[in-house]
Amino acid sequence: MFRTLTSSIRQLAYIVPFALIAMTLALGVAPASAQEPRTITIVLTEYKFSPDSIALTAGQPVQLNIQNQGKADHNLSSDDLPLININYVKADNSPQDLSRYVGTNVLNADALSGHTSVVTFTPTTAGTFGFFSEDEESLGMVGKFIVLAPGAQAPGPAPSTSAAPASSTTVARDGQSLSTQSAATQAMFAEAWGDRAAQEWTQEHNASLPH
């Protein structure tokens, strides 16, 4: 009887894992995988951000490339953007400051003239949140993050045919356009920019292309 019981236990040890796998497949459950960050490039000059309005999605990781193409040193900071998992891949702040910003999940990246700082983070809350260059707000160097809720769709009717002639100005240098992007990307830009969505996407995409 002892041998029979031992044999039964061994059989269960083989059967149970396969049963769990079959149940997982039947329920359509797949192992969780980390989302790939969305790469956004913002160009800094005297005294402006380009683009100065950036659409994000709550819960979607972001890699923010901060290119300083100006002659002066600049900065990109946000006092109120709720975020997690911030990581300064490359920035011109002091190590002490960067350690403090990581510990408190604060976006504050210096970029010296001609340098590109790279920061990754995940926004957590839908809403509109400002960003600026420290000590240069009064000069107009400000912008905003528009964080959409996951799955948010752009409201409103389809674009009218009167907008068609402008399509030739909304094609990026590599031949891509907003209309060739995913539905989620199109909705994100339409929500943030409305009728200017295609032009703003083209501007942002061109800025991310190698010069």
Angle at 127 between CA 70 and CA 153, to 5 degrees: 105
The residue assigned the tokens 């190698």 is 210
Would the pLDDT of 84 be above 60? yes
Q: Give the side-chain half-sphere CA count within 13 A for 115.
A: 16
Between 201 and 19, where is the model more confident? 201
Contact yes or no for 137/97 (Cβ under 8 A): no
Residue 41 has what pLDDT? 96
First-residue to last-residue Cα distance in the chain: 78
Q: Name the pLDDT band for 170 (thresholds 50, 70, 90).
A: confident
Cis peptide bond upstream of 47, omega within 30: yes
Contact yes or no for 209/174 (Cβ under 8 A): yes
Instruction: Catalogue all structural domains in the chain, each as residue range(s) with its CATH number.
Output: 31-151 (2.60.40.420), 168-211 (no CATH)
Contact yes or no for 28/52 (Cβ under 8 A): no
Alpha-carbon Rg for the chain, nearest whole angstrom, is 24
% the chain with pLDDT above 90: 53
pLDDT, tens digit, for every residue of 111-151? 999 999 999 999 999 999 999 999 999 999 999 999 999 88
Residue 157 has what pLDDT? 46
